[in-house]
Chain A
Amino acid sequence: MTDSDAPVPEHPDNGRTRPTDLPQVRIPRQVHQAMVDLEAQLAQEPAAGQLWRLEFDGTVALVYLADLTDEHIVVVPVGEDVSYADDATVVVPADRSPLGFAIGIWTDLDLRLPRYVLDRKLGDLDVDVPDLTAEQPAEVLPTDVRYRYRQRLQEPLQELVDATERLADDDRGQQQPLSVLLRDQGVQPSQLRRAIDTRRARRAFQDQLYLPPTDPAVDVLAELADVDVDEVRRALPRPPQRLWVALHQLQWRLPTRRWAQDRDLPEVVARWRVAEEVGAGQFRRAGDTDTEPDWEQALTDFFRHTDA
């Protein structure tokens, strides 16, 4: 359980409300632009030597992009606390860092990942990074405080590796489908229609309701089925593998981002919604066949239609 999930004891003091003056804290323009400016992002061509944000299924990591092919990237974790730097860390001083504060590149922790986890380019890194293949691992013992920091830097990258491998394995068949869970628990379609909406209720019973794990509808389903929220999360169908990979490609991240901005939605939530709309649309058209739809075409049609 995370801190923000944990049940919080009530505050015993009903004293003052918040101070009237907001602290003046503004994110530097170039950082803000790199994150939200769609026009600027159109020109983001990945190349070695850049600082990138990786994202897949909501897991995020900041990395130095060391190398890339059409399918894969080689990345090195970037950390914000340079006081944990070791022999193999390249420190980028604040005045040369795209984030505006000093960052470290932990060069001996390089990792290979699918290219589709590239999310946003945060800037160019004009620093000399040694040849990773020749890089000797830093000698940091488990008793060293830097050891734990290295682990913390590796954790999100390892999560990305695991998530992308899980996607490649596609183990959806091993889970109890949502439709079976709902029927076993005696949930009636009419109940579901009232609690969410008709279209989504139908999709739930057809295992085509693609929901992010934090979506409020997950709680509604759990309450109706009278089961634990995690049981519903395990039963939720995943979007078709190739559609999901396609939606993570830079090519489709941008239109998804625009779609999200138009609807005041976070991009990760919008991606699930797009997957649901596009996925359900294709199944409706193709019927329940084993033929893999042309997802690229389906996405082109979807965004053309919604943009119009």
Chain B
Amino acid sequence: MSAFLELQQTGEIGEQTYTMLHDVAGGVVRTHNYPAPSGNEYWTKDEEWELVNEFLTGDRGLQRVITLFVKATDEHSLRNLAAAAIRNHLIDQFRNTDRGHLYQRLTDVIDDWDGLETFPTAAGPACRRVGAATDEIWSGTIRPLVMAAADVGDIRIERWRKAARRSPIADRESIARIIEAVLDQAEAAVLLSDLAEVMEARFALVRTPLVIELDDEPALEPSAADDTDREALTFTAAEEIFDQLSRKERILLAHYNDTLRELEPLLDVSKSHAGNLRNDLESKLKGMLASANDPEATLTELRTMAGTWTHECGISSHSTATD
């Protein structure tokens, strides 16, 4: 008996329908290359069954089944409807993740920005400058693109809002300028998926920030656990800010006590420009640290991070941030 007839006759999910949904779900995730929940290259059988169970019993699961039931006319149409519904379900899940949120944000910015456009390719939508002479797609590693993105300065950050439980991201204009810098570096169109990866690296967006819920009532005596919590909060706050700094800002932070003459070769800018950058960074940090639980400790943590980062990047220093 087909799944269609099983549903018609029994009015419930039986062996045939369950197996059919698994077949279709497997086809959808492989054909459209949806990332596996485990982060592996492919979906395991367990993950596929989990997807089907979530599809059937999760939020609006019954609504999905009823819709399939009332719209299908035969097995073929039931499978097609199921494939579309599973895709929509995956897209909804994807949109609820940080990467999905970022991807959506990029699409919105590109759609609204006069100088940029998206166009379909076999590997998915890609972005290019409007009127670009080439349809060639960037196929190299994303590292040079990340470096180009990191070099874009004067990024206006949208303040992290705990209530939204989303990683912070820059404003529209800043994102568009970063995309343009990436396209210039690539000298080709760039897949939206690659662009999202570049942005993830630029803003470290994929990680969902650690949020520690503190008790409303203050503890009578500070405990070791409180200290650990405070330390974790400081580290998280510093990490969130650090992820939003450009390459030059990170160098500046690591070499905050250096003279402008010493900064000139490190930043590859003139002394006056280095001075302006330092002033900009100061006012930016003032704003970003205002909401931190312990601004001073957060700044110390930030400078440690910047020092470690410049060391790992092999950027020569005459003094270190922690000096």
Contact = CB atoms under 8 A, between A and B. Distances in A.
A24 B87 CA distance: 22
Interface stretch (A15-23, A109-117, A299-307): A15-23
Interface of A: 2-6, 8-9, 11-19, 22-29, 31-32, 35-36, 53, 55, 58, 60, 62, 80, 99-101, 122, 143, 212, 214, 264, 266-269
B63 interface: yes
Interface stretch (B42-50, B159-167, B243-251): B42-50
A36 to B, nearest CB: 6
A268 B14 CA distance: 22
The B interface, classified by DSSP as helix, strand, loop or mixed, is: helix
Contacts of A60: 71-73, 77
6 contacts: A23-B18, A26-B13, A31-B70, A32-B69, A58-B73, A100-B63
A130 B259 CA distance: 73
Contacts of B24: 3-4
Contacts, number: 132
B96 to A, nearest CB: 14
Given A16-B45, A22-B15, A58-B74, A31 B66 contact: yes
Most B C-beta atoms less than 10 A away, residue of A25, A28, A53, A99? A25
Nearest to A271: B73
Nearest to B8: A36
B184 interface: no
B31 A264 contact: no
Interface string B63-101: 101110111111111011011100100000000000000
Nearest to A268: B73
A40 to B, nearest CB: 13
B63 A32 contact: no
A268 B74 contact: yes
A50 B75 CA distance: 27
A3 B84 contact: yes
B78 to A, nearest CB: 9
Given A13-B42, A214-B74, A269-B74, A100 B80 contact: no
Contact of B5 (A9, A25, A122, A264): A264
A66 B189 CA distance: 49
Given A3-B84, A4-B82, A22-B13, A214 B1 contact: no
Nearest to A156: B71
Contacts of B18: 18, 22-23
B124 to A, nearest CB: 15
A27 B30 contact: no
B73 A3 contact: no
Contacts of A80: 63, 67
B73 A2 contact: no
B307 to A, nearest CB: 44
Nearest to A12: B42
Most B C-beta atoms less than 10 A away, residue of A23, A53, A80? A23
A27 B57 contact: no
Interface in B10-55: 11-15, 18-19, 22, 24, 26-28, 30-32, 42-46, 49, 53
Given A18-B18, A25-B57, A53 B70 contact: yes
B5 A3 contact: no
Contacts of A8: 26-27, 30-31
Contacts of A99: 63, 66, 70
A271 B135 CA distance: 49
Contacts of B210: none
